[in-house]
Amino acid sequence: MDPEMQARLPRIGLLLAAAMALGSCESPAVSQSNFETRYFAARGALEDGSYARASRAYSSLVPTSGPLAVRIKLELAHSELRRGAFAEAAAIAGEVAQATNGTSRSAALAVRGTALHELAVAQLSDGDAAAAKTSLQSAHAALDEQLKNDPDLDPLGAMAGRRAMIAARLARL
């Protein structure tokens, strides 16, 4: 079995189990197959760089995601971030962070902090320093909490580096 397929097996198993738990009028096999197909289409669009298509696909999955809601919403937030919809990405990730704790909260805070930082850059470009400062302060707080609670989510220091850039920008505002 190739390494890519081996990497997907745990995810496929989780999806199959979760899809079976979803309540629906359809038979479990039909629901499971439909959800799994739609999930892999959304994931494929994200990986292929079709971020608007990925966002639409993930959005359509959220209402039926059941126990996978946190993961689906995080992937939706990530696709919004990648397509440049920074405010939307920050809002979705913020909702996930508010509703979760532990590593799920930290993952959501990382997406939220990144999205808010990118939003602040756009706000500064548009000449809105006041809005940018607010976004930067929120981004810094999100990344600060993420790094404090789950430093293992930043093994290469990218989030720490982003937090330092945010701090430097805040010092200049």
> Which of 48, 83, 118 represents a domain boundary (last residue)?
83
Furthest-apart CA atoms within the chain: distance in Å: 59
In a shared domain, residues 98 and 54: no
Tens of pLDDT, residues 22-47? 333 343 444 667 999 999 999 999 99
Q: pTM of the full predicted structure?
A: 0.80
In a shared domain, residues 79 and 139: no
Tens of pLDDT, residues 64-88? 999 999 999 999 999 999 999 999 9
The pLDDT mean for the chain works out to: 86
By residue range, what is the domain housing residue 148?
Answer: 86-173
> Which of 35, 50, 83 represents a domain boundary (last residue)?
83
CA terminus-to-terminus distance, the chain: 54
The answer to whether 65 and 31 are in contact (CB under 8 A) is: no
